[in-house]
Amino acid sequence: MKTKFLSFIIYTLGFFCGIIFIIVNVKPLGSVARSLIIPRNYGDLYYQHYIDKYKTVLDRKIPFSVSELNTPLKKAGIILYGDSFSNLRYFKGIPELLIDSMKVDLHFAHTRRIFQGPVFPYLAKSDYQKDSIPKFLIFQSAERVIDLRLRDNPAKLVQAGTPNPIKTFLKSILARDAKRKYTFLLKDTKLTRPFYSFLMNKRYDWFGYVDSPKVYDEKTGMFFNDKSTSNTKAGFYYQFSDEEIELYCNHLEIFKNELKSLYNLDFVFFPVPNKISIYSHILNNDEYNNLLPRLYECMEAKSVDFVDIYNPIKAQKELMYFKTDTHWNEKGAQLSHNLLMKKIREIQARTNSKN
Amino acid sequence: MLFNSIEFLVFFPTVIAVYFAMPQRFRWILLLIASYFFYMSWNPSYIVLIMVSTVVDYSCAIGIENQKNKKVKLALLYLSLFVNLGFLVFFKYFNFLGDAFNSLFEPLGIFPQIPGHNILLPVGISFYTFQTLSYTIDVYKGKLKAERHLGYFALYVSFFPQLVAGPIERASRLLPQFYEKFEIEYERIKKGLLMVLWGFLLKLTIADRLSEYVDSVFNEPNIHNGLQKLTAAYFFIFQVYGDFAGYSYIAIGIALIMGYELMDNFKRPYLSVSFQEFWNRWHISLSTWILDYVYTPIVLSKRHWGIYGIAFALLVTFVLNGLWHGANWNFIVFGFILGIYIGAEFLLKKQRKKLKKKIGKGKFRFFGWIATMCLWIFACIFFRINSLGEVWSFLGGILDFSSYSTTNLNLFKFPIDFVISLILIHLIWGLEFFQEKNNLLGKFKKQPSIIKWTLVIFLLLFVIFIGKYNSSAFIYFQF
């Protein structure tokens, strides 16, 4: 009797785990995995701990990249290449604000989408042609991914080699982000989220545990990524060397020159500070690596157009970022947009005066 | 793939269900694929090393068995040793030996500059290398028949429960089990699951909790006071025990669920009253491996030295034991200290007997236990310290009683963890003591089912609610 019951448990559990194993690890079944996941409507850092007390309801609309407002590349009057800071639509975001201010069609390319790739291959693949009228290409990048975006020489990325057919086949079959999908399935399906959330809330109520590698400030209720997860180049605390800053700066200069000569595009670099870079004082943290101010200095020397958001946002008394999300709030986005517009007008005035 | 990861929680039930549903003759294929997948989830390319080791040892062992010419047999043994130890030396010790060689000539004004490499150390290389080495040596000595089935042998090298952190199994124990057919058996699977639960308890509630404190002190020793250092050193011996014994229990448990019996790796080491006893209880699979393949041959070759030959063998053995743990001077000193402890125990055997008679068995055992634990804490500082250069300031800090302050003694992110840690480590210690004295587990088994199940569910909930979920790797993975 006991053995029969145990056999039933083993085979049933094995069956369900097997299905999960397959849908997570076989890439073409990725949509099945995604369909099981219920939406995440609270701040992204909330999903590191699931504690009800720290929920911030964010009314997420369709991301700009897939909205009807996103104009095809060839028809667009302005190109915005960016990440979630531009694509999250909790409110009127940078792309929409730019459309309103400049009264032009805008094409937004999301840097996270693998098929879009880095800027030059993306333009080449899309058969983008040089226009006689100069246009703007705004390159928005979160500070935490600057290394990822700028470590390679952008011009060299134009010529991609012939892909290895075996690698291409394996890539098309095997999912690469199994761990992430498992995490989603454990925490964010209709069946599992209530259990997981219950467990996390009880651990918090009984022992005070905030179960994530992130840190939070009890006084303000603000969450941040902490040192243990972020002491990498993609993190918040990495101490960049002068050589690294110089390398990024050189690559930005290549961006500027090559985009102008190949496509007649005016390049504007629009780096968005990390939340921790602005509010490190809340955690009594004085270890900010000063990446942006150092990069600004270097870009100025090389005449690369950029938008300094760090200093104006740092000077604000009002909160410019969400408390339980890594992104800026509406005020932060509005301020950044104003600064970006100021830079664009400055460049336009400079170009006009030359002509 | 870590045992304490979501991937494994999905991977293992899938493997188990398919395993029991399969005919016995095909199970090795499933287990081999599962083992390779398990290893490749960490770094796919390093599976080649395991495959090469497998093919070389398989071929060499058959060659050794078939050959009558002793010289050829020896050559085949050397080939196997060369390949296995070659991988180990190249990946694990090359940089260390290069640095040592470079610095050896520096005082003479010669700078040979042997270049190092930045190649990642293959996880578990020390474990599977020792496992394959013992196989070839045993075949050479005629203690073991060479395995003719390449699939079973490949599984012996890569069996996923013990692939990356042991126990280091012997072919004579494990290989025959692959030929057996195991069915779903309630009692065996229950025992296996309980071992897994106990392993998770040690890993998630003790080791991963203590690691926060230990890491914060050992990673920045200069900013911590003497009491914090002492507390970290004390916590570390439980962290390393919880981590490694926890891994071993999980490994043994999951193998047992499938039907395979792996050797015990820990037998309540923190109740030892001497270091000799300690090494019969701590990392048993490594201790017995070293005893059989290093210590005994040295003792035999140095038997004309008498008692000093044995002391010498102990010292060499333990230095090698230390070096096995890592290519760093602190591990060598760690091994050397252990060798001194055991060597001294051996040389002072008569005096210890006299003392035992003088003060009585009970007191002798009690003081022996205190001394063993204190000396183990001391040795473990060398094990955990990031570099040998830091050790003196660390020890100096512990001895600087004027720096002792209870302010900021609790370095945990969540203050309650300090109390939980203290309760848990002493509770486990106490449970082990009563298990040793009164066979607690035996008494538990005699209890009515309702009590047993209540306790098991309590333990499970305890792990779920108190455990740490940061999926940190097991310490012994790095070896």
Q: What is the pLDDT of residues B242-265, one digit of tens each?
A: 999 999 999 999 999 999 999 999
Domain boundary among B181, B214, B247: B181
Sign of CA dihedral A251, A252, A257, A262: positive
CB-closest option in A6, A10, A17 to B10: A17
Domain boundary among B153, B181, B209: B181
Q: Do B10 and A24 touch (CB under 8 A)?
A: yes
Predicted confidence (pLDDT) per residue in B345-397, tens digit: 888 888 989 998 989 889 999 999 999 999 999 999 999 998 888 888 899 88
My answer on whether B204 and B177 are in the same domain is no
Total domains in the fold of chain B: 2
Shortest Cα–Cα distance, B130 to chain A (Å): 31
Q: Which residues have a Cβ under 8 Å from the Cβ of B251 and sit 6 or more positions away?
A: B3, B161, B162, B165, B166, B167, B199, B262
Which of B6, B204, B463 to mutate against chain A (most A CBs within 10 Å)? B6
Res A115 pLDDT > 80: no
Res A118 pLDDT > 90: no
My answer on whether B29 and B106 are in the same domain is yes
- Residues in chain B with CB shorter than 8 Å from the CB of A11 are 17, 20-21
Task: Indicate the SS3 state at residue B415.
Answer: coil
Residue A211's Cβ-side half-sphere holds a number of Cα atoms within 13 Å equal to: 24
Residues of B belonging to the active site: 325
Q: Which residues have a Cβ under 8 Å from the Cβ of B317 and sit 6 or more positions away?
A: B290, B291, B294, B295, B298, B339
Domains parsed from chain A with CATH numbers: 64-151+230-354 (3.40.50.1110)
My answer on whether B415 and B332 are in the same domain is yes
- Any domain includes B476: no
My answer on whether B322 and B223 are in the same domain is yes
CB-closest option in B12, B184, B465 to A203: B465
- Over residues A168-176, the mean pLDDT reads 75
Q: What is the pLDDT of residue B110?
A: 72
Sign of CA dihedral B350, B353, B355, B358: negative
Res B474 pLDDT > 70: no
Which residue from A minimizes the CA distance to B412? A209
pLDDT higher at B163 or B120: B163
CB-closest option in A3, A17, A179 to B14: A17
Q: What is the pLDDT of residue A160?
A: 52
Res B343 pLDDT > 70: yes
Q: Which residues have a Cβ under 8 Å from the Cβ of B102 and sit 6 or more positions away?
A: B111, B112, B113, B114
- What whole-number distance in Å separates Cα of residue A250 and Cα of residue A239? 19
pLDDT higher at B306 or B54: B54
- Any domain includes B472: no
Q: Do B7 and A213 touch (CB under 8 A)?
A: no
Q: Which residues have a Cβ under 8 Å from the Cβ of B245 and sit 6 or more positions away?
A: B199, B202, B265, B266
My answer on whether B159 and B195 are in the same domain is no
Q: Which residues have a Cβ under 8 Å from the Cβ of B311 and sit 6 or more positions away?
A: B343, B346, B347
My answer on whether B91 and B73 are in the same domain is yes
Instruction: Give chain A's mean pLDDT.
Output: 85
Q: What is the pLDDT of residue B117?
A: 73
- What whole-number distance in Å separates Cα of residue B260 and Cα of residue B21? 17
Q: What is the pLDDT of residue A36?
A: 85
How many Cβ pairs closer than 8 A exist between chain A and B?
A: 66
- Any domain includes B473: no
- What whole-number distance in Å separates Cα of residue A38 and Cα of residue A58? 15
My answer on whether B249 and B114 are in the same domain is no
Please, which pLDDT band fits residue A351 given cuts at 50, 70 and 90? confident
Q: Which residues have a Cβ under 8 Å from the Cβ of A59 and sit 6 or more positions away?
A: A41, A90
Q: What is the pLDDT of residue A310?
A: 94
Return the top range by mean pLDDT from A60-64, A229-233, A238-242, B158-162. B158-162
Which residue from B minimizes the CA distance to A207? B416
Which string of b and e fits B318-329 if b means at least 16 CB within 10 Å? bbbbbbbbbbbb
Shortest Cα–Cα distance, B440 to chain A (Å): 25
My answer on whether B192 and B63 are in the same domain is no
DSSP B221: G
pLDDT higher at A296 or B124: A296
Shortest Cα–Cα distance, B195 to chain A (Å): 17
Res A230 pLDDT > 70: no
Res A167 pLDDT > 90: no
Instruction: Give chain B's mean pLDDT.
Output: 89
Contact A143, A292 (CB under 8 A): yes
- Over residues A185-204, the mean pLDDT reads 90
- Any domain includes B475: no
Please, which pLDDT band fits residue A162 given cuts at 50, 70 and 90? low
- Any domain includes B471: no
Q: Tell me if chain B has a CB within 8 Å of the CB of A91.
A: no
- Any domain includes B428: yes
* Range(s) of the domain holding residue B30: 6-181
Q: What is the pLDDT of residue A271?
A: 95
My answer on whether B231 and B156 are in the same domain is no
My answer on whether B276 and B413 are in the same domain is yes
Contact B411, B397 (CB under 8 A): no
My answer on whether B106 and B46 are in the same domain is yes
Res B233 pLDDT > 90: yes
Sign of CA dihedral B190, B193, B194, B195: positive
Res B101 pLDDT > 80: no
> Of how many residues is chain A composed?
355
Residue A54 has phi, psi (to 5 degrees) of -105, 25
- Any domain includes B88: yes
Q: Do B20 and A213 touch (CB under 8 A)?
A: no
Q: Do A14 and B185 touch (CB under 8 A)?
A: no
Share of chain B above pLDDT 70, in %: 97
CB-closest option in B6, B17, B414 to A10: B17
- Tell me the two tokens of residue B198: 């106990």
Q: What is the ipTM of this complex?
A: 0.84
Beta strands, E only, B136-246: none
- Residues in chain B with CB shorter than 8 Å from the CB of A6 are 184, 186, 189
Q: Which residues have a Cβ under 8 Å from the Cβ of B172 and sit 6 or more positions away?
A: B138, B143, B144
CB-closest option in B10, B186, B469 to A6: B186
Q: Tell me if chain B has a CB within 8 Å of the CB of A92.
A: no
Q: Which of A312-316, A325-329, B379-383, B403-407 has the lowest mean pLDDT?
A: B403-407
Q: What is the pLDDT of residue B478?
A: 62
Domain boundary among B181, B215, B238: B181
**Could you give the residue ranges of the DSSP H alpha helices within chain A?**
2-25, 30-36, 84-87, 94-102, 119-125, 146-150, 165-173, 178-187, 193-207, 227-230, 242-263, 275-279, 291-301, 310-315, 330-354
Q: Tell me if chain B has a CB within 8 Å of the CB of A105.
A: no
* Model confidence, pTM: 0.84
My answer on whether B252 and B368 are in the same domain is yes
CA dihedral B15, B21, B25, B27 (to 10 degrees): 0
Q: What is the pLDDT of residue B471?
A: 60
Tokens 């100021």 -> residue = A342
Sign of CA dihedral A182, A188, A191, A193: positive
Q: What is the pLDDT of residue B363?
A: 92
Q: Do A15 and B17 touch (CB under 8 A)?
A: yes
Please, which pLDDT band fits residue A232 given cuts at 50, 70 and 90? low
Q: What is the pLDDT of residue A164?
A: 75
Res A2 pLDDT > 90: no
Which residue from B minimizes the CA distance to A25? B7
- Tell me the two tokens of residue B87: 């991988």
- Over residues B263-278, the mean pLDDT reads 93
- Any domain includes B219: yes
End-to-end CA distance of chain A: 91
- Residues in chain A with CB shorter than 8 Å from the CB of B20 are 7, 10-11
Q: What is the pLDDT of residue B311?
A: 84
Q: Do A207 and B466 touch (CB under 8 A)?
A: yes
Please, which pLDDT band fits residue B94 given cuts at 50, 70 and 90? confident
Closest by alpha carbon to B10, among B2, B455, A78? B2
- What whole-number distance in Å separates Cα of residue B333 and Cα of residue B249? 29
Please, which pLDDT band fits residue B166 given cuts at 50, 70 and 90? confident
pLDDT higher at A224 or B278: B278
Q: What is the pLDDT of residue B238?
A: 95
Predicted confidence (pLDDT) per residue in A20-71, tens digit: 999 888 888 878 878 888 888 887 888 888 888 888 787 777 888 888 889 9
Res A287 pLDDT > 60: yes
Which residue from B minimizes the CA distance to A226? B413
Shortest Cα–Cα distance, A207 to chain B (Å): 7
Predicted confidence (pLDDT) per residue in B195-211, tens digit: 999 999 999 999 999 99
Q: What is the pLDDT of residue A273?
A: 92
- Over residues B42-57, the mean pLDDT reads 91
Q: What is the pLDDT of residue A125?
A: 81
CB-closest option in B17, B189, B464 to A11: B17
Shortest Cα–Cα distance, B180 to chain A (Å): 19
**Could you give the residue ranges of the DSSP H alpha helices within A57-118?**
84-87, 94-102
Res A113 pLDDT > 70: no
Please, which pLDDT band fits residue B32 given cuts at 50, 70 and 90? very high
Q: Do B18 and A11 touch (CB under 8 A)?
A: no
